[in-house]
Amino acid sequence: MIKPQPKIKHMRGTEKPTSPTQIIEEIEQKCEKCAILTPITCATKCKLWKIKREFRRLHEIMKTSNYMINLLNTLKNKRRLQILEMLSKRELSLPSVQQELKKHGYHHSQETIAREYLAPLIDVGLAGRENNRYYATIFGFKINELIKDFHEIAEIFPTHSECYEEIAISILIEKSRTYKELKQFIPAKSVARVLQRLQKSGLIYAPKERDYIFYFKTRRDPSKLEFSLTERRVYENIPADGIPARKLAEKTGISLRRTYKYLRRLRRKKLVFARKQPKTYTLTEKGFKTAMILNEIRKLVADFLAATAMLTKDSEILEKLMPDTKRRKTKRKEREIFPLTVLAPYRLTSK
């Protein structure tokens, strides 16, 4: 007698799946206790075996070094995102997908839908097909939950790209960066174009050129010198981390021309010095929100890659995902994990 198969909180439909590692651990525990008659029975009737098959296929897709680029380029399409959301709710046949798209004002042939929208979702492991019906995979369900309220991702970034824009804002989430610093992560010939696109999209901000000169206080004791009232006001409004003349003028309520005048006087008294600060690029509020979404996608990919590597016993991937193990040899080896799971900030240095 075949033992009834226990249910895992996944499945295709409305139930919300648990973490990928928990799913694998629960499946393995159930499989150990399962008294199956033949392997054929397992492969054809067991829901747990189907989940394992889904994870094994996902592992083969995810372990490629360009996976994150393929995934993001797939997601940068509104129709695909809408289809993924539909499939996360229930399985659909191709004609049903076509009818659902018509409700959103999109009129495509079934051939176009299958080739341009469903096939790319399947290729990156977000969807699957069985018995002529399409469904969201566990990974696809999780991705949909993450970005269902952020379909702007399909409009913000250029399609069919190398994802340099996504790499840039993923780096800028840590701190502001200069042009020179960004060239360490993005090909030099592409940096200017990437920054221009990000500024045009309202994702990053850079100050105007005239604000590059910052004024700082010297260590000289001001109590030994005489000040005019206006000189003192200018001096006392210079913060420890410096300030450009324009912001200082706004802060003190003095015109920019007179601010420069008093700064020159303070410099002659050796109380102030000027330093040219390189232009830095900073995320806007919109850019920060977008970077956080990208970061969550990267984490999700890393979680699923670790779970599928555990299932397939892929020691090479597990070693790269867990650099703190004894098998880690060098810092360079640690850096090589990034292209597998994230938008490789070390993309250039790891080549």
Last residue in a domain, options 156, 175, 190: 156
Q: Note whether residue 52 is domain-resident.
A: no
CATH number at residue 267: 1.10.10.10
Q: Note whether residue 54 is domain-resident.
A: no
CA atoms within a 13 Å half-sphere pointing along the CA-CB vector of 134:
26
Residues in CB range of 58: below 8 A, 6 or more apart? 125, 137, 139, 304, 308
28: helix, strand or coil: helix
DSSP structural state of residue 271: S
Q: What are the φ/ψ torsions at residue 306 (nearest 5 degrees)? A: -65, -40
Residue with tokens 């973490």: 19
Burial of residue 216 (number of CB atoms within 10 Å: 0-12, 13-18, 19+): middle
Last residue in a domain, options 111, 135, 156: 156
Residues 151 and 82 in one domain: yes
At position 67, the amino acid (one-letter code) is Y
CA 89, distance to chain mean position in Å, is 25
Token duo for residue 77: 């399409």
What are residue 134's DSSP bridge partners?
92, 129
Quick: pLDDT tens for 113-166.
Answer: 999 999 999 999 999 999 999 999 999 999 999 998 888 888 899 999 999 999
Q: What's the farthest any 2 CA atoms get from each other in the chain? A: 100
Q: Note whether residue 246 is domain-resident.
A: yes
Quick: pLDDT tens for 256-308.
Answer: 999 999 999 999 999 999 998 888 899 999 999 999 999 999 999 999 998 89
Q: Note whether residue 14 is domain-resident.
A: no
Q: Which pLDDT band holds residue 342 (cuts at 50, 70, 90)? A: very low
Q: Note whether residue 295 is domain-resident.
A: no
Last residue in a domain, options 130, 156, 182: 156
Q: Note whether residue 119 is domain-resident.
A: yes
Q: Which pLDDT band holds residue 39 (cuts at 50, 70, 90)? A: low
Other CB atoms within 10 A of residue 239 CB: 13
Q: Which pLDDT band holds residue 223 (cuts at 50, 70, 90)? A: confident
Quick: pLDDT tens for 188-198.
Answer: 999 999 999 99
Task: For 30-82, give the DSSP string.
Answer: HHHH---S-HHHHHHH-HHHHHHHHHHHHHHHHTSTTHHHHHHHHHS-HHHHH
Q: Quote the pTM value.
A: 0.74
Mean pLDDT of the 314-341 span: 53
Kind of pairing, strands 127-130 and 177-178? unpaired
Q: Note whether residue 140 is domain-resident.
A: yes
Domain count of the fold of the chain = 2
Q: Note whether residue 137 is domain-resident.
A: yes
- Domain of 85, in residue numbers: 77-156
Mean pLDDT of the 160-187 span: 91
Whether the CB-CB separation of 176 and 282 falls below 8 Å is answered with: yes
- The pLDDT of residue 206 is 87
- The pLDDT of residue 7 is 41
